[in-house]
Structure 1
Amino acid sequence: MSIGFLRQALNALQQQSRSRTSHRVNQWFKWLSPGLSVKRWLLISVGGVFLASLGLAIWVKLTPIFWLLELLRSFLGVITNILPNYISGPLVLLCGLLLLLWGQTRTVGSITAAFKQQGETELIDVLLAHRRLYRGPKIVVIGGGTGLSTLLRGLKTYSANISAIVTVADDGGSSGRLRQEFGVLPPGDIRNCLAALADEEKLLTELFQYRFRAGDGLTGHSFGNLFLTAMSDITGDLERAVAASSKVLAVRGQVLPATLTDVRLWAELADGRRIEGESNIPKAGGKIVRIGCTPANPLALPAAIKAIKEADYIIIGPGSLYTSLIPNLLVPEIANAIAASKAPRIYVCNIMTQPGETEGYTVADHIKAIDAACGQRRLFDAVMVHKKSPSPQSLIRYAQQNSHPVFLDREDVSLLGRRVVLANVLYEDETGVIRHNPQKLAKVLLRWYSGAHHGK
């Protein structure tokens, strides 16, 4: 029994040792991966050592170097007398390479230990991920609300070159109060996007989304909104505040307000009413026939236009049609830049209709509303639609709020000149709330982009 146990223990130790060795060898070979610029710098370092030695030899008129070489020649002569050159040569070469590898490994190990204080990820894996992300496509995402932050959470695993263009028309809740009291642009949607793109997403999301439940004047405010308001006051405007906050939060990509103009949404309903204010439009309970903003034709943020012009890929949505997506397109320069872009462009349609905004809307109705807001121009080539129906429990829950799955009227969508991208991207939480799954949504969108990009 004891001998068998010892054999098992020895076998386990050998396997564990082989596994560790194999992992370590794999980690070493990763340093030779293309694009890391390690091999060239290593060769340059060796060349530098050689040139420095040569320069020293010339400086001292070669005298010490001559005697050193004579000593080395005598030493090598003794070795070759003992061992033939075809054995001693490779042996000395191997010793030199092992010393070089050992020195480089210890150096990298010391650097890795410093970086791994905050986590267990190997330095080479961090560098490879960084290289991959910053070589990713330049993606511009346009929208607002929960839908935009959900999409960003998935996209940031594929590219760090993300520009989120966010509406600043919100006038409800904490954002609305800060807008009235401090005269700042509403920070709510921007806060959600910053939290979604932050590297330490879980902790920062909890911090930025934290709402005060007590305190005179603090109740109902989120920490993130107060943070951005304070940064706006310190830096002078919301654009600088967001840029400074992005550095503090190690945000992957950039978040840009669509405009720095203090815009107010208005909507005309089918019954003739005119509703003022983004938060009042869904509450009015009528069919929206026209939407606009005051002042009309606000100026776009130059950085947002630059991002659209340089984009490899443009995504519109998901989000509330009239209060999150279209407000961005009411900025004429943004709509013009999207229309002029040659990049693949796609619209992510909502899964469910929204009471007070899109009751009874089909996929084609969503597209027509966007086209109408932009002067009947086609701002996107394809529309992504969720394929499967939600669970019966969720359908009942949403039906009680007069919300239903958005029906795909494929023929009407084709007549509008758009391709349909069908995919299963649904996420339902334990309470039956329906959202897009960030990872699935991003995966489908990047797969479509890859096909559209290579199909050009």
Structure 2
Amino acid sequence: MACLGGGHGLYQTLLAARELEVEDICAIVTVADDGGSSGRLRKELDIIPPGDLRMALAALAGRDGECAQWAHTLQHRFGGSGALAGHAVGNLLIAGLTEVLGDMQSALDAVARLTSSAGRVVPVVNQPLDIEAQVRGLDEDPAALRSVRGQVAVATTPGQVESVRIFTGNTAEPEPPAHRAAVEALLGAELITLGPGSWFTSVIPHVLVPDIVQAINASQALRVVVLNLTPELGETRGFSAERHIQVLVQHAPQLRVDYIVVDTGSNFSPREREVIQRASSSLGAQAVFMDVAESSSGQLGASVHDPHKLAAAFAQLYAGPA
């Protein structure tokens, strides 16, 4: 099983993947973060930002004894006001192992062994990426577009994101090649998931890498997109389910998937479901409406996908029509 994404959305998907007890799980992770601990390490050490990779490792870490303690430790952040304040232990561990072992993938694999990981974590490309968005609503002219650069800036813009692009610091390589391990995982998977997550900064960057789209299309896997439960206050404020799909089509018109999972919590009308189905067909997909949201009134509330429900949805789709 290959899961593409980043942040909390990928974390929940990986928990769902563990529920399925599949033999091989590969987390394919976005690498454009430029804020917080990850952004500091990226700038100071010139490495792939480790934060989203760390979260994926924590999701896949063993659940018993020392492994569970390691998973908790990876996520722990230093307090205080000194040089370490705000850094996650796992970020520093990955950064240190990268220097000791010579490359990021070796470091990630070492942490996976340390935590008895249920799968492998790989960056989508083997270098840090930058994101640039075209944003409307930042000028007096509401129709004017302005470029906003950087993952944090895009995610928190008060304007309306219209489109994004990715690039590297190497001008001779405008389209970064995908990490070979990511392509191999996609081609060998029986189930591929894309999303949920920050749509413009965690989900769409994957399909802006041509090698990734080609591998998804060439794979014999069941390919599933998981829509977000609600729009985000920053980059997708006011987005409907249909708009999320349209934006994905806009950025990856060649992408082909089998299903798009839409949570039933919004109580879509027959007309709205028809519109979502029509948008899904642009990707060759069928929209399926399923209960996949966390129903408790916990800290994160119903804006989080429930791993148990998500796992059940994946299993049902993989089994095929009843």
Place the TM-score, normalised by the shorter chain, in its bin: 0.7 to 0.9
CA contact (8 A) 2:101 2:107 kept: yes
Rounded to whole Å, the distance in 2 between the matches of 1:447 and 1:287 is 36
CA contact (8 A) 1:363 1:408 kept: no
SS in 1 for 2:192: strand
Rounded to whole Å, the distance in 1 between the matches of 2:12 and 2:271 is 22
Rounded to whole Å, the distance in 2 between the matches of 1:429 and 1:251 is 30
1:430 to 275, 287, 298: 298
Aligned match of 2:261: 384
Aligned match of 2:140: none
Cα deviation code 1:5-60 (max 9, x no counterpart): xxxxxxxxxxxxxxxxxxxxxxxxxxxxxxxxxxxxxxxxxxxxxxxxxxxxxxxx
SS in 2 for 1:293: strand
Letter in 1 for 2:11: S
CA contact (8 A) 1:386 1:425 kept: yes
SS in 1 for 2:304: strand
- Which of structure 1's runs of 4+ aligned residues deviate more than 6 A? none
Rounded to whole Å, the distance in 2 between the matches of 1:277 and 1:160 is 36
Q: What are the residue-to-residue correspondences of 1:7-406 with 2, within 5 Å?
A: 139-158=1-20, 159-200=22-63, 202-214=68-80, 216-270=82-136, 271-295=144-168, 296-374=174-252, 376-389=253-266
SS in 2 for 1:227: helix
Cα deviation code 1:152-174 (max 9, x no counterpart): 11211321311110000111111
Rounded to whole Å, the distance in 2 between the matches of 1:241 and 1:424 is 37
Letter in 2 for 1:181: E
CA contact (8 A) 1:312 1:344 kept: yes
CA contact (8 A) 2:26 2:185 kept: yes
Report which of the two structures shows the higher radius of gyration computed on alpha carbons.
1
Rounded to whole Å, the distance in 2 between the matches of 1:155 and 1:262 is 26
Aligned match of 1:409: 272
Rounded to whole Å, the distance in 2 between the matches of 1:377 and 1:360 is 26
Rounded to whole Å, the distance in 2 between the matches of 1:185 and 1:383 is 30
Give me the TM-score of the superposition, normalised by structure 2. Answer: 0.87
Rounded to whole Å, the distance in 2 between the matches of 1:432 and 1:250 is 28
Is 2:313 the counterpart of 1:444? yes
1:432 positional shift: 5.4
* Count of aligned positions: 299
SS in 1 for 2:166: strand
Rounded to whole Å, the distance in 2 between the matches of 1:183 and 1:429 is 41
1:261 positional shift: 2.0
Structure with the bigger percentage of helix? 1
1:343 positional shift: 2.0
Letter in 1 for 2:227: C
CA contact (8 A) 1:261 1:299 kept: no
Cα deviation code 1:327-373 (max 9, x no counterpart): 11221101111122232111110101011211221222111111221
SS in 2 for 1:267: strand
Rounded to whole Å, the distance in 2 between the matches of 1:311 and 1:325 is 19
Aligned match of 1:41: none
Listed as ranges, the gaps of 5+ residues in structure 2 are 137-143, 169-173
Rounded to whole Å, the distance in 2 between the matches of 1:408 and 1:173 is 43
Letter in 2 for 1:426: A
Rounded to whole Å, the distance in 1 between the matches of 2:288 and 2:241 is 12
Letter in 2 for 1:261: Q
Give me the TM-score of the superposition, normalised by structure 1. Answer: 0.63
CA contact (8 A) 2:193 2:223 kept: yes
Identity of aligned residues (%): 34
